Amino acid sequence: MITPELLNQFAAIVGESHAIRNPVEMAGYMKEQRDLWMGRSPLVLRPGSTNEISTIMKLATATKTPIIPQSGNTGLVGGGVPFETGNEVLLSLDRMTKILDVDAADNTMTVQAGAILKSVQDAAGNAGRLFPLSLASEGSCRIGGNLSTNAGGLNVLAYGNARDLCLGLEVVLPDGRIWDGLRKLRKDNTGYDLKNMFIGAEGTLGIITAAVLKLYPKPCTRETAFIALPSPQAAVDLLSLMREMSGNRVVAFELMPRIGMDFTVKHMAIADPLAERSPWYALGELADPPEGCFEKILEVALERGLVTDATLAQSETQRQALWNIREKMPESQKHEGGSIKHDVSVPVSKIPVFIAEATQAVNKFMPEARVMSFGHMGDGNMHFNVTQPVGMDKKKYLDCWNSMNTAVFAVVQKFGGSISAEHGIGRLKIGHMPEIKSAVELGMMRDLKRLYDPLNIMNPGKVVPL
Amino acid sequence: MITPELLNQFAAIVGESHAIRNPVEMAGYMKEQRDLWMGRSPLVLRPGSTNEISTIMKLATATKTPIIPQSGNTGLVGGGVPFETGNEVLLSLDRMTKILDVDAADNTMTVQAGAILKSVQDAAGNAGRLFPLSLASEGSCRIGGNLSTNAGGLNVLAYGNARDLCLGLEVVLPDGRIWDGLRKLRKDNTGYDLKNMFIGAEGTLGIITAAVLKLYPKPCTRETAFIALPSPQAAVDLLSLMREMSGNRVVAFELMPRIGMDFTVKHMAIADPLAERSPWYALGELADPPEGCFEKILEVALERGLVTDATLAQSETQRQALWNIREKMPESQKHEGGSIKHDVSVPVSKIPVFIAEATQAVNKFMPEARVMSFGHMGDGNMHFNVTQPVGMDKKKYLDCWNSMNTAVFAVVQKFGGSISAEHGIGRLKIGHMPEIKSAVELGMMRDLKRLYDPLNIMNPGKVVPL
């Protein structure tokens, strides 16, 4: 147990005005956003500097106090909230929001870990550059969390995951040492790559406190189309055609099933953009393509039977309207009752057979459940979500979460896929780690955890089962 | 010392016909290609499978025998050759050259570590795809070595370093365990990133035995120009303009000084492509740009005084001829006597001031030495090579290697740069590690080395000073 004296010591590091002890005031830090968990903590610390975080971790090490780092608290696997024990101190990055430097000539920017993703994007935009990471929670998620979870989102196809957008890091280690790896270099082969160990580690090896990010030129033009397709295989073939015919200018390729359109039209006040119903849809986008490129691609695709109908955005307003369909789709599901979710990936070419077999597996498990498989097909990443049968009790349905997962994950593994393509492991999926990792790989991860965090005080109980 | 019995045990693992004990036959494996070192070893093992390598490492662990993994032996820092002690066994990957799988639909290929880079490129090309890693030694270097050294080369600007081109790895650990991380996924957030630890580790943490590589669509068109410029600053500004006006279609941007042109014209039977002499030149290339894009860029650049003259390749033959100038430039230096080399990087915007100050530092150190700074300016990577004064004794000049390094590296560090942008640390630069790394960073690297290789048998004495 943490003594009141120790809490005072921790609070003194950040100053009493930045320490929260009142359960009502700290509720927002404790609640997992999908309502899966409500953590408990005696203290929320809101440090204002890397040095304060270092001092906190030194005290945590000296007293073996578990520390839970939290960024925007928008994660989807419970990695950023404490357990219910009340023995863990929460450390929030939400005061460390500075954009330290934007360098258009170098195409880099340096930011504190608590900077909100939207403000990072805006700072890049104001300098005439693009920071391409973009995801649903961008108005409230913070870049430190994006890096700690190796966030994906809508532009991975062209620009990669958060990992690929980072040149350098500053990290406070569990023992309080500060690693200054804030380099702006595109090439640096001087020893082991330390940066990538912390990216995607979900705060279990250290606390990311600042980062150097890559910037890109802003695309001058975009062509965006909403496309009706007969099947996922047609979507895979269309993506391949788009890549070849555009000179690799594809920046987004999202797949959506008819049931998703039905939900979205019904619940989200959105009109069907195409006249006829189609079993599948794709939203594709090209950046800076040769003029009229998308039109030519669609002509060839129509001839080949890959596409049955399509509409090309003729203005930015129309483009936003098409994207709005995709962006509203996840929310539409809530209106149909409970939903059991799978954020999975397989090699892109396996998407069609994965959807077919995973749907079969779900139907076998629960014939009336409604599969809605949509998402970032261009990255092989499907949000394979399953909506409850009409009329079933929601709670009773959600109680099947783990069994449904087991059925779907078996198909994922059959095709060499990942059971967490972009959301991470956190608390939600840690129990699956021994099933999906070899003994060698799990051993290597445990060794790394023990190396950096021998006392197991850094976000314990997340990601790697010890 | 290694006993004859132990050598027999090692040889039995691969079979006598794949074990070399004759010093004459093994000379090619012992010689560092710049003639800086000639290693010694009682035995060269040429295993044919990952399992054989695993068995070798188990025996090496049991007997504390140092193992030196070697790929194409084209490295430039002595990382792939044994020391002169004769106590180390060399393990060559040169029999494990299979292209295991090329998957055009997934844009991936899976290869054994000993596959020659050129054959990897060709296999991708035959499947209608591009594997973009390209460097001078591509006809003899092997992909395992490219990954172990995180090779750079000519296309980093558009496609990244070797690290960025790898989706999955298979690695044999020093204790013989095999880590199978051969995944084909674009997104996989299930635990710590292990892959990037081995990439760039120069065989000091384990032996890369196979890899899954990323493929790209082949560019449909390329525009290539050879450009005369007044200064490195003009080159930086031109690159920025090219990026903005082409929609980020720049795939190469090489900077060359007049002295490099003089050497190349004089010694390499190459004609000056432009009528007037210029202090600096750039070779720029766009892939799949909007039609006539490069011409428009050059017009604007001429108006702004960034460019004084340029020639655009009108055919593939002309394009090859322009690239040939750049490719022959390093060799041209050999005809001018000894050359002290620096493979360094700084943030791109710092290139002009770096060249100015580093040249000053060299001139102060040795007024008659001839600076030839050329290379991958688009990545901030300069090959800052210094040719000996005319008439000086070559050996006497090369004896100044370390002092010259010290003068240049001080300028590199002043601008937050790297003393090894793409060649690595190996044996050549290990002595500089304590100067360029913080105690924290060096400590973290040592910890990793001790974690994976507690007996220090995996390419010992390279990369990280213990």
Per residue in A29-45, pLDDT tens? Answer: 999 988 889 999 999 99
Which of A321, A227, A247 has its CA nearest to residue A288?
A247
pLDDT tens by residue, B193-226: 999 999 999 999 999 999 999 999 998 889 999 9
DSSP per position, A21-35? --TTTTHHHHB-TTS
Residues 251-270 of chain A whose Cβ lies under 8 A from any Cβ of chain B: none
A105 CB contacts (<8 Å, ≥6 apart)? B236, B240, B348, B349
Q: Are A161 and A150 in contact (CB under 8 A)?
A: yes
Residues 30-89 of chain A whose Cβ lies under 8 A from any Cβ of chain B: none
Question: Span A395-409, mean pLDDT?
Answer: 95
- Rounded Cα distance, A439 and B177, in Å: 10
pLDDT tens by residue, A281-299: 999 999 988 889 999 999 9
Greater pLDDT, B221 or A118: A118
The vertex-B207 CA angle with B345 and B125, nearest 5°, equals 70
Q: Are B336 and B388 in contact (CB under 8 A)?
A: yes
Of B190, B192, B418, the CB nearest to A187: B418
- Rounded Cα distance, A74 and A153, in Å: 13
* Interface residue B27 vs chain A (CB under 8 A): no
pTM above threshold 0.90: yes
- Rounded Cα distance, B309 and A342, in Å: 57
- Rounded Cα distance, A169 and A213, in Å: 9
- Rounded Cα distance, A385 and A419, in Å: 13
Q: What is the pLDDT of residue A434?
A: 96
Smallest CA–CA separation between A328 and chain B, in Å?
23
CB pairs under 8 A between A and B: 261
Smallest CA–CA separation between B39 and chain A, in Å?
22
- Rounded Cα distance, B209 and A292, in Å: 45
Cβ burial of A316 (10 Å; 0-12, 13-18, 19+) is: exposed
- pLDDT higher than threshold 90 for residue A453: yes
* Interface residue A116 vs chain B (CB under 8 A): no
* pLDDT band at residue B81 under the 50/70/90 scheme: very high
Task: Write out the two tokens for A59.
Answer: 């005290």
CB contact under 8 A, B379 and A163: no
Smallest CA–CA separation between B389 and chain A, in Å?
30
List C-alpha distances in Å: B286 to A149, A382, B165.
34, 34, 20
Residues of A in contact with B192 (CB under 8 A): 197, 200-201, 205, 444-445, 448-449, 463-464
- pLDDT higher than threshold 80 for residue B435: yes
Residues of B in contact with A187 (CB under 8 A): 152, 156, 161, 345, 376, 379-381, 418, 421-422
Q: What is the pLDDT of residue A149?
A: 98
Which of B190, B177, B330, B81 has its CA nearest to residue A412?
B190
Smallest CA–CA separation between A346 and chain B, in Å?
6
Which of B464, B333, B458 has its CA nearest to residue B388?
B333
Largest CA distance in chain A: 75
CB contact under 8 A, A192 and B183: no
DSSP label of A180? E
Query: Pairing relation of β-strands A250-257 and A280-287?
Result: antiparallel
pLDDT tens by residue, B273-301: 999 999 999 999 999 888 899 999 999 99
Question: Span A394-401, mean pLDDT?
Answer: 95
